Amino acid sequence: MGDLIAAFQEALIGWGPNLVAAVAIFVVGGVAAKFATALVARGMDRAGVDVILVRFVRNIAYAGLMALIVIAALGRLGVNTTSFAAVIAAAGLAIGLAFQSSLSNFAAGVLLIVFRPFNVGDYVEVGGVSGSVEEVQVFTTVLRTPDNKKVILGNAAITDASITNYAAYDTRRIDLVFGVGYDDDLRLTRDVISRVLSQEGRVLQDPAPTIGVGELADSSVNFVVRPWVRTSDYWNVRLDLTEAMKLAFDEAGLSIPFPQSDVHLQPVQAA
C-alpha cells in the first residue's frame, strides 16, 4: 500500500504541474477567446458591418481559437501534437463524410453571407416558412414568425429553395379586388375608390394607383385596385383600405353582392 501511495505521489509530482498548466491554458484561453471574438465583433459593429456578418465571423473565429487552445493544452500535457494533428485530419475526413449535410450547411452559410439574399430583420419566405430573419449561424438560419415562433432552418435548405424577400425594396404594391352589383353605377364606383385612395395618406402617388374592371364575374363586377405603399406600411394600409372601402360603398349606396345562382324549374306534365 505504501508503494502505491508513493507511486501516486511521484506521478502527481511529475504530472501535476503540466496538468495544472494545461487546465490553465484551457480556462484562460477560453476566456481570452471569448474576449477576443467579442472585441472583433465590437470593432465590426463600429465599422458599420451588418449584424448578420458580425455574428457569423464571431462564431467561426471562436471555434478556430478554441481548437488551437485545445491543441496547446494537450501539448502541455506531453501529447505529440504532430501525430495528434494527423489523427485530427483523419478523423476530420471521417467526420466530413459522416456529416456531409452539416458541411453543406456550412458552405451554404458562407454563400448566404457573400451573396446576401436577405439581411437581419427582413421578412422572407423560404422552404414554406415565412418570418423575419434574426440570425445566420454557422449551420443554420433563425427566423421569427409573425406569431412569435422561432424557426431554425438549415442553410443548405435555404440556398436550395426559392427565397422571397418581402423587404428587399422600399415599396410594395397592394393587390385588392372589390366587387359591386351589375345594377350599380361603374363610374360612381370608380370615383368612390379613387376618393378612398386619395384620402389614405400612406398611399403613394408615384407610381399611381391602378383602378380598373378586372372581371365580369358570376355575381359581381370586380374592380382591381392596386395602390403602392412603403414596405413598412403594407399590412396596415391593406387592412385599413379594406375597411374604408366597405364603409364608402355603404355610404354611396353601392352593393357588395353575395354569390348567387339562378335556378329555373321546368314543369313536367304527368304521364
39 lies in a domain? yes
Number of CB atoms found within 10 A of residue 9's CB? 11
Three-state DSSP class for 206? coil
The answer on 206 and 142 residing in a single domain is no
The answer on 175 and 128 residing in a single domain is no
Per the document, the length of the chain is 271
The answer on 155 and 203 residing in a single domain is no
260 lies in a domain? no
49 lies in a domain? yes
Q: Name the nearest CA neighbour of 182 among 217, 224, 228.
A: 217
211 lies in a domain? yes
Whole-model pTM above 0.85?
no
Give pLDDT tens digits along the chain (271 positions): 555 555 555 555 556 677 777 778 788 888 888 888 888 888 877 777 667 777 777 887 888 788 778 877 777 776 666 665 666 666 666 655 555 666 788 888 888 888 889 998 999 999 889 999 998 888 889 999 999 999 999 998 899 889 999 999 999 999 999 999 999 999 999 999 999 999 999 999 999 999 999 999 988 999 999 999 999 999 999 999 999 999 999 999 998 887 766 677 777 776 5
Sign of the four-CA dihedral 12, 15, 18, 19: negative
The answer on 85 and 31 residing in a single domain is yes
The answer on 185 and 212 residing in a single domain is yes
Number of domains in the chain: 3
29 lies in a domain? yes
CATH for 206: 3.30.70.100
The answer on 90 and 20 residing in a single domain is yes
Query: Which domain does 149 fall in, by range?
Result: 116-165
Query: What does the pLDDT read at residue 20?
Result: 74
The answer on 142 and 80 residing in a single domain is no
The answer on 202 and 239 residing in a single domain is yes
Number of CB atoms found within 10 A of residue 139's CB? 19
6 lies in a domain? no
Query: What does the pLDDT read at residue 114?
Result: 84
Contact 120, 50 (CB under 8 A): yes
The answer on 151 and 210 residing in a single domain is no
Q: End of a domain among 39, 65, 98? A: 98
Rounded to 5°, the CA angle 209-212-214 comes to: 125
CATH for 20: 1.10.287.1260
262 lies in a domain? no
CATH for 155: 2.30.30.60
The answer on 237 and 177 residing in a single domain is yes
Q: Name the nearest CA neighbour of 197 among 233, 232, 248.
A: 248
Contact 204, 230 (CB under 8 A): yes
240 lies in a domain? yes
The answer on 181 and 245 residing in a single domain is yes
Query: What does the pLDDT read at residue 141?
Result: 92
